[in-house]
Structures are given as structure tokens and as C-alpha cells.
Amino acid sequence: ALEAAMASLRDAPSADTLNTARTAWKKARSTWKFTDAFVVGPSADIGVSGKIDFPATPKIVEAPIAGTTALDEATVGNLGGDQQGFPAIEVVLFDPARDDAAMLAAFGAAGSRRGVFGALLATLLKAKVTSVRDAWTGGYATELTTAGQGSKTYTTEHQGIDVIVNALVSGAEIIIATHLAKPLGIDKDGKPLPDLIESPRSDYSIDDILAELAGIEGVYLGTRNGASGLPLADA
């Protein structure tokens, strides 16, 4: 949905397509942040996470838009992690220093560099997220769920449980230490550093945290979207 919305914004910039793209970004963002509860296996093994959710530097993200180098999947795909993924698309779509009219004006006419760049970022992001999903469904899920029962990756059930428990603990610690303590200035000298919050331009940082917590809760209690499975709590 995000890829389609960014393509529509590229082809026909308007208040509606901009709003639709922003809404799609937030939905996709929350869906991905839910998975922070179980960033194990494919998320780390296939080496794409750094270009999915690495903090973006606005000036660096804006550089290709302002430049003259041809924008295509190969060129954009070779950019660093701080110029790709969800944070980079956020920079393309949101800017607290500009109102909606000014933000829309930044996209200009159909096919502008900002629109093209944003659409390419979305296409590349979808491919990376899909690769993580495919790695889970392509074998990792089986390796994890058969821990101690034939799994080549986890020879004991205990190992499989430890992987998930450690992921939940790590996810919770990151929320506390990185997403809250550092921006609030309560980790060292007490000086607030609001620039360190996640998703600052879209004002979506609290939603990020809530999505992460929902993922932790879902895994621990074995629930998602009203459906119930086997809770980790029982194990």
C-alpha cells in the first residue's frame, strides 16, 4: 500500500495523494515496528535491516533530491542506510518546518525528483521487508518452531525459547534506553535531546513505541488482532 501511495504521489501530486501517502507510511511503519519484538533470524541474517529502519539525516536524504544524478533503483539502492527505509521516506513526506501547502509545493509537478525519489525508496523498502518475510516463511519459522525436535539451527527447545525471550527483553530495553531515556535526557547528564526520538518529523514516535509494545505483548500472550495462539508465557 505504501509503494502504491508513493507512486500515486509521484504521478499526481495533490493534497489527497500526499495525505494518502502519509497515512500509508504510518500504517506500514506501525506494522514493521510490531516486528521489533522478534528481530531474530532473518532480520539480522540477511543484512537488510540497516536499510529498513536506520535513523535518517534530513540533509543527507535531501541531497539526491536536490542533485542532478539520474534517479533509478540501482542508484538509490546504493545509498547508505541513513538515506533509505522508513526514516528516509519520512523525510520525503514530512517536515515540521513546512505546512502542508509548502510540503506539497516541494513535490512540484508530476514526476518531480522528490516524487521519483520517494517512490523508489518505497519500492526498495518493500523488497527488503518482503525478503525478511520470505526468509521466515521459507524455512526459519520451521527451524524455530521445531527447536529441539529436528531443528538444525536450535538443537534444544531451550535454545529456541531463549532466542525469543532475549528478543523481547532487548526490544523492551531499547524502548527504555534509546527511544525514551536519551531523548528525555535521563540517561546521562539530564540534558534533553529531542532530536534523538524516532519518527520526529511525523510526530509518530509514541505510536512507534506503542507498536513495539504491542509486538512484545502479542508474542508473550500469543495474541494478535483478536486471534489467540500458544503464548510464550506458558512456556
Q: Tens digit of pLDDT for each residue in 3-34?
A: 999 999 999 999 999 999 999 999 999 999 99
C-beta separation of 87 from 56 below 8 A? yes
Section 79-95 average pLDDT: 96
The pair phi, psi for residue 223, each rounded to 5°, is: -130, 150
Whether 10 contacts 119, CB under 8 Å: yes
Mean pLDDT rounded to a whole number for the chain? 94
Residue 201: per-residue pLDDT: 94
Determine what percent of the chain is predicted with pLDDT higher than 70: 100
| Sequence-separated (6 or more) residues with CB below 8 Å from residue 101 | none
Which has the higher per-residue pLDDT, 29 or 47? 29
pLDDT of residue 71: 96
* pLDDT value of position 92: 98
Share of the chain above pLDDT 90, in %: 85
Taking 90 as the threshold, does the pLDDT of residue 46 lie above it?
no
- Output the nine-digit C-alpha cell for 143: 527451524
Query: Which amino acid is present at 11?
Result: D
Identify how many contiguous H helices and E strands the chain contains and give both numbers.
12, 2
Residue 145 has pLDDT above 80, yes or no: yes
Could you read off the pLDDT of 158-180 as tens digits, one per residue?
999 999 999 999 999 999 999 99
Higher-pLDDT residue of 124, 232: 124
The pLDDT value recorded for residue 45 is 81
Q: Which residues are bridge partners to 224 per DSSP?
A: 227
Judge whether residue 68 has pLDDT over 80.
yes
User: What pLDDT sits at residue 44?
Assistant: 76
Residue 173 CA to residue 100 CA, distance in Å, equals 36
Alpha-carbon gap, residue 205 to 182, rounded angstroms: 13
Tell me how far apart the alpha carbons of residues 177 and 173 are, in angstroms, rounded to a whole number. 6
pLDDT tens sequence across 187-227: 777 889 888 899 999 999 999 999 999 999 999 999 988 89
